[in-house]
């Protein structure tokens, strides 16, 4: 990360280590299994948040139009 921030290139050893760590992370994420009930609860929560945001957006639009 520090090299990237300074626009420095990685040494070949660092490049190999980076690729190995990246591949390990990808493998772990691919093997991740989530509980379907938890996924459903999160989707429902997002739906509720979106519904509130749409309501707030409508209220804001009406306030803007009235002034």
How far is Cα of residue 43 from the mean position of the Cα atoms in its chain?
Answer: 15
Region 2-19 average pLDDT: 83
Q: What is the pLDDT of residue 42?
A: 95
Domain ranges for the chain: 1-32, 35-67
Placement of tokens 């990808």 in the chain? 26
Which residues lie closer than 8 Å to 18 by C-beta, 6 or more apart? 10
Angstrom distances, CA of residue 37 to CA of 28, 31, 41, 51: 21, 18, 6, 21
pTM greater than 0.85 (yes/no): no
Instruction: For residue range 14-66, list pLDDT tens digits in order.
Output: 889 999 999 999 999 999 888 999 999 999 999 999 999 999 999 999 999 99
């Amino acid at each position: 990360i520090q090299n990237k921030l300074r626009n420095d290139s990685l040494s070949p050893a660092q490049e190999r280590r980076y690729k190995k760590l990246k591949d390990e992370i990808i493998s772990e994420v691919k093997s991740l299994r989530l509980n379907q009930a938890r996924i459903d609860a999160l989707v429902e929560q997002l739906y509720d948040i979106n519904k509130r945001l749409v309501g707030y957006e409508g209220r804001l639009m009406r306030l803007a139009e009235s002034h």
